Amino acid sequence: MRLRPTLYAATGLLLFLAFWEAAPRLGLVQSSLLPPPSELPKAFLREFRSGLWAKYVALSLNHYVLGFIVGAGLGTLLGVFSGMSLKLEWSLAWVVRMLRPIPNLAWAPFAIIWFGVDQANAIFIISIGVFWIAFFAAHGAIRSVDRDLVEVADAFGFRSAPERLVKVLLPAATPGILIGLRTALGQAWMAVVAAELSGVSGLGSRMMQASSLLATDIVVVYMLTMAALYGIMDAGFMFAQERLLKWKP
Amino acid sequence: MEAVSLNPTPIIQIKGLGLAFEQDGRRTEVLRGLDLDIAAGEFVAIVGASGVGKSTLLRVLMGLATPTSGTVATAPDPQAERPMAMVFQDARLLPWRRVLANVMFGLEKTALPKEARIARAQEALKLVGLAELAGRWPHQLSGGQRQRVALARALAVRPAILLMDEPFSALDVVTREALQDELVRIRAETGRTILFVTHDIDEAVYMADRVVALGGRPGVMRSARAIDVARPRRRGSIALSEIAQDVRLDITAEHRDPDFSI
Please name each of the domains of chain A with its CATH number: 61-244 (1.10.3720.10)
pLDDT, position B218: 84
Element (H, E) at A219: helix A216-244
Percent of chain B at pLDDT > 90 equals: 66
Cα angle at A92 between A88 and A94, to 5 degrees?
A: 145
> What would the DSSP string read from start to end of B205-251?
HHH-SEEEEEETTTBEEEEEEE---PSSP-TT-HHHHHHHHHHHHHH
B158 min Cα distance to partner chain A (Å): 12
How would you write A27-51 as a 3-class SS string?
CCCCCCCCCCHHHHHHHHHHHHHCC
Q: Is A151 on the interface with B (CB under 8 A)?
A: yes
Q: What share of chain A is helix, strand, coil (3-state, %, to 5)?
A: 80, 0, 20
**Cβ-defined contact of B92 to A154 (cutoff 8 Å):** no
pLDDT, position B261: 44
pLDDT, position B77: 79
Does residue B209 contact residue B58 with C-beta atoms inside 8 Å? no
Q: What phi and psi, each to the nearest 5 degrees, are found at residue A85? A: -115, 115
The minimal CB distance from B96 to the residues A148, A155, A247 is found for: A247
**Cβ-defined contact of A156 to B90 (cutoff 8 Å):** no
| pLDDT tens profile B60-78 | 999 889 999 999 988 887 7
> What would the DSSP string read from start to end of B108-164?
GGS---HHHHHHHHHHHHHHTT-GGGTT--GGGS-HHHHHHHHHHHHHHT-EEEEEE
Burial B19-44 (b: 16+ CB within 10 A, else e): beeeeeeeeeebbbebebbbbbbbbb
Residue B87's DSSP bridge partners are B164
**Cβ-defined contact of B86 to A148 (cutoff 8 Å):** no
Q: Report all structural domains of chain B as residue ranges with CATH numbers, in order of start.
A: 1-76+193-262 (3.40.50.300)
Has the ipTM of the complex gone over 0.90? Answer: no
B206 min Cα distance to partner chain A (Å): 28
pLDDT, position B2: 40
Q: Is A23 on the interface with B (CB under 8 A)?
A: no
Those residues of chain A that have pLDDT short of 70 are 1
* Cβ neighbour number for residue A161 with a 10 Å cutoff: 11
B160 min Cα distance to partner chain A (Å): 14
**What chain B residue is nearest to A243 in terms of C-alpha separation?**
B96
pTM: 0.86
**What chain B residue is nearest to A173 in terms of C-alpha separation?**
B96
| pLDDT tens profile B112-122 | 999 999 999 99
pLDDT, position B258: 52
Element (H, E) at B20: strand B12-23
Does residue A226 contact residue A189 with C-beta atoms inside 8 Å? yes
pLDDT, position B254: 58
pLDDT, position B241: 92
Those residues of chain B that have pLDDT short of 70 are 1-8, 254-262
The minimal CB distance from B92 to the residues A148, A157, A248 is found for: A148
